[in-house]
Copies of this chain bind each other. A is one copy, B any other.
Amino acid sequence: MIWFTEYQTKNTGLTVRVKEAKRFNSQYQEILLLDTYEYGKMLVLDGAVQTTERDEFIYHEMLAHPALIKHPNPERILVIGGGDGGTVREVLKHQSVKEVHLCEIDGEVIKVSKEYLPTISNMLDNEKVKIFVEDGNKFLDERKGYYDVILLDLSDPVGPAEALFRRAFYQKVKNALKEGGILTAQTESPFLQTEYFKSAVLEIKEVFKNVGTYLAFIPTYPAGMWSFTMASDDIDIFENSNMERIDKLNTKYFCDKIYISLFSLPKFVSELIT
């Protein structure tokens, strides 16, 4: 039997039984495409699980929908990272959206996802979507005041995404937002990546006025406890706005109840970031 183990820290990991494995090497990282018994197809970058067919809905829904619901009229959306296409697919469920830019540094991730993960990548060819195979840092230098919502769908802050968890980058994100714009970033596991988590949230707080962190259960991510951080200067993200739009989204995780209780953190998680 073939087993793949992601060592989420040097002392613990997730192990999954594998039917078949394919390896690709891009200029940035090792890309593994595993066919697993428990989770279906699984995309692994430099040894870290990025997405699986079985639980990807949780991460992608929870990254995209809270900010898009809180925004009164999200039309122009930017996703940085997210080459698998799952976040773009969720963004396109919002009828107001006119234009989605995807900025992914590694074109090979997009290619592998289009070929092997069709249920995740199937909206990448939609006419509203424009793909930029570029470094997110440089991409943002040329965009000012353009986007309603920016979603940071990044891999861990080691390797290609490292510079994208820093204050200077969050400042560029803010500059690229229109007035009333909202950022949501994935901000790692509060339990097993505590320092990354704290640092990302605290850097975002240095840049934006209103900042809130929320969690979701993601079985294949470290500790199964994953965080996202939403930020805006002009929008009160703590209000339960525009709830009537939730029902139309056709989701499996996100719903009214999750939206209303979004920022209800366990005590120890709150204490890490206050």
- Tally chain A residues at the interface, Cβ within 8 Å: 41
Residues of B within 8 A of A252 (CB): 266-268
Residues of B within 8 A of A15 (CB): 5, 12-15
Copies of this chain: 2
A10 within 8 Å of B (CB atoms): yes
A191 within 8 Å of B (CB atoms): yes
Q: How far is the CA of A258 from the CA of B269 in the complex (A)?
A: 12
Evaluate contact between A258 and B264: CB separation under 8 angstroms: yes
Q: How far is the CA of A64 from the CA of B261 in the complex (A)?
A: 21
Cβ-defined partner of A217 (8 Å) among B9, B16, B224, B261: B224
A254 within 8 Å of B (CB atoms): yes
Cβ-defined partner of A11 (8 Å) among B11, B17, B217, B254: B17
Evaluate contact between B267 and A251: CB separation under 8 angstroms: yes
Residues of B within 8 A of A251 (CB): 267
Question: Which residues 255-274 of A sit at the B interface, judged by CB distance below 8 A?
Answer: 255, 257-258, 260-261, 263-268, 270
Q: Which B residue sits closest to A36, measured CB to CB?
A: B11
Q: Which B residue sits closest to A7, measured CB to CB?
A: B15
A140 within 8 Å of B (CB atoms): no
Q: Which B residue sits closest to A55, measured CB to CB?
A: B191
Nearest-neighbour CB distance to chain B for A260, whole angstroms, equals: 7
Evaluate contact between B219 and A225: CB separation under 8 angstroms: yes
Cβ-defined partner of A255 (8 Å) among B10, B257, B266: B266
Evaluate contact between A217 and B266: CB separation under 8 angstroms: yes
Residues of B within 8 A of A219 (CB): 191-192, 223-225
A58 within 8 Å of B (CB atoms): yes
- Which 8 A-B pairs rank lowest in CB-CB distance, beginning with the nearest? A224-B224, A261-B261, A11-B37, A219-B223, A257-B264, A11-B38, A261-B264, A255-B267
Can you list 14 residue pairs at the A/B interface with Cβ under 8 Å?
A5-B15, A11-B17, A11-B36, A12-B15, A12-B16, A15-B15, A219-B223, A252-B267, A253-B266, A254-B266, A257-B261, A257-B264, A258-B264, A260-B261
